[in-house]
Amino acid sequence: MQHKHLQFGKGFRVLLGDSHSQAAQMTLAPGDTEGGPDNRHKGADQWLYVVSGSGVAIVEGKRVELREGTLVLIERGERHEIRNTGETPLKTLNFYVPPAYTDEGEELPAGKA
């Protein structure tokens, strides 16, 4: 068993995981973005859950409004960007299946968990 008490700070941080899945937290300041038109996870699905704040996810050119309680599945290979369009930090909990990052937050090559 693994466990962690979440304390959202700045930026992106891998929390825990194993060879099958991974959890990370992300905090974006108002006006900040993560990802972009060329951002995608070639080897992992990403589940993004909004803990607090508001923003927009742009996935394969389609916009999804983000607010507390929103859950988005970004399938492997889909290009995506997350934007904080609100006035407070956008805090998300992200799950990757299989893992997409090293413990240090560097993206893994596709299929290299």
Q: Check whether the bond before 98 is cis (ω within 30° of 0).
A: yes
Q: Which CATH superfamily is domain 11-97 in?
A: Jelly Rolls (2.60.120.10)
Cα dihedral across residues 92, 28, 39, 103: positive or negative:
negative
pLDDT tens digits, one per residue of 28-81: 999 999 998 889 998 999 999 999 999 999 999 999 999 999 999 999 999 999
Give me the pLDDT at residue 65, please: 98
In this prediction, residue 110 has a pLDDT band, given cuts at 50, 70 and 90, of low
Half-sphere exposure of residue 100: CA atoms within 13 angstroms, side-chain side: 22
Kindly report the CA angle at 39 between 34 and 6, in degrees rounded to 5?
A: 45
What number is the average pLDDT over the span 81-101? Answer: 97
pTM of the model: 0.92
Sorted by where each begins, the domain ranges of the chain are 11-97
Q: Provide the Cα torsion 69, 16, 25, 7; round to 10°.
A: 90
